[in-house]
Amino acid sequence: MATSQDLPAPILTLKKGVIRPYHSADAASLAQAANSKAVAAFLRNYFPHPYTLADAESWISLNQTPPLHSWVIACPASGAVMGSIGVVPGKDVYSRGYELGYWLGEEFWGGA
């Protein structure tokens, strides 16, 4: 994993995490957090399960080219992926709206 100095600067700092652009060094951590049947059950059908390293690398590559619509939710101390958040503009009759979605890895569910 890349050191925190190598990772993109956060665009939003939260109490227990940061939201920042994806980095190629996030692939293994993303694959680990996303590889959950329970996570996939609550997402759109195109979210794969099992979620492999190749899936993570492909997703990161897709989300490093502007305009960015998806960002990583990461642990501020380690940089490890906790989840992801995205905003997708609507199309056609939905062009004035946006879809907001997010997920967190199971180990981060229910934290106080």
Q: What is the dihedral sign for C-alpha 42, 47, 48, 52?
A: negative
Q: What pTM does this model have?
A: 0.86
* pLDDT tens track for 13-25: 988 999 999 999 9
CATH class of residue range 12-107: alpha beta
* pLDDT tens track for 73-102: 999 999 999 999 999 999 999 899 999 999
- Cβ atoms 7, 17 nearer than 8 A: no
Question: Picking from 2-6, 24-28, 63-67, 84-88, which range would have the lowest pLDDT averaged per residue?
Answer: 2-6
Taking each helix axis from N to C terminus, what angle separates 53-62 and 27-34, rounded to the nearest 10 degrees?
A: 120
